[in-house]
């Protein structure tokens, strides 16, 4: 059941980026997929192994000195981040994150979002620059 949720989110994460992409020129990195690749169960925690894919949807490569991250966010609070290297047009990069969650937590009650954060230089942000899951 969790895998099906992840696959449907991959589809929906791709649609907004493609639709909004027409208004931007140059490099346009976006989170294009988020999926749960597995769950490890412990006595008190479920460890969700989450994979997020970032793709440059633009027609230009990113500058070699770009400094960018994917923030892992829950309820507008940054939990962690992962660095993302400069991407060429159409190139993708995948990050992984292990999310600890109480084994007593209710199903489909906790959102987890992945958002691109640029430190330098600024980039055009398509509508699909972030994506998330709910478990």
Per-residue H/E/C for 19-54: HHHHHCCCCCEEEEEEEEEEEEECCCEEEEEEEEEE
86 secondary structure, DSSP code:
-
- Domain residue limits at 106: 2-134
* Dist CA 125 CA 29 (whole Å): 7
Query: Which DSSP helix (H) or strand (E) runs through 91?
Result: none
**How many domains in the chain?**
1
| Coil/strand/helix, residue 57 | coil
pTM above 0.95, yes or no: no
CATH of residue 37: 2.60.40.10
The pLDDT > 90 percentage for the chain reads 58
According to the model, what pLDDT value does residue 82 have? 97
Q: What is the band of 52 on the pLDDT scale with cuts at 50, 70, 90?
A: very high
**Cα dihedral value 120, 121, 126, 128, nearest 10:** -20
Q: What is the band of 24 on the pLDDT scale with cuts at 50, 70, 90?
A: low
């Amino acid at each position: 059941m969790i895998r099906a949720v992840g696959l449907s989110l991959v589809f929906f994460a791709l649609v907004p980026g493609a639709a909004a992409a027409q208004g931007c020129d140059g490099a346009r990195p976006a989170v294009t997929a988020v999926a749960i690749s597995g769950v490890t169960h412990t006595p008190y925690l479920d460890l969700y192994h989450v994979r997020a894919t970032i793709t440059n949807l633009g027609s230009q490569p990113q500058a070699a000195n770009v400094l960018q991250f994917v923030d892992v966010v829950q309820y507008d609070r940054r939990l962690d981040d992962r660095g993302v290297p400069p991407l060429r047009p159409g190139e993708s990069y995948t990050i992984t994150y292990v999310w600890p969650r109480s084994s007593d937590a209710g199903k489909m009650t906790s959102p987890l979002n992945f958002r691109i954060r640029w430190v330098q230089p600024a980039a055009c942000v398509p509508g699909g620059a972030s994506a998330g899951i709910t478990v």
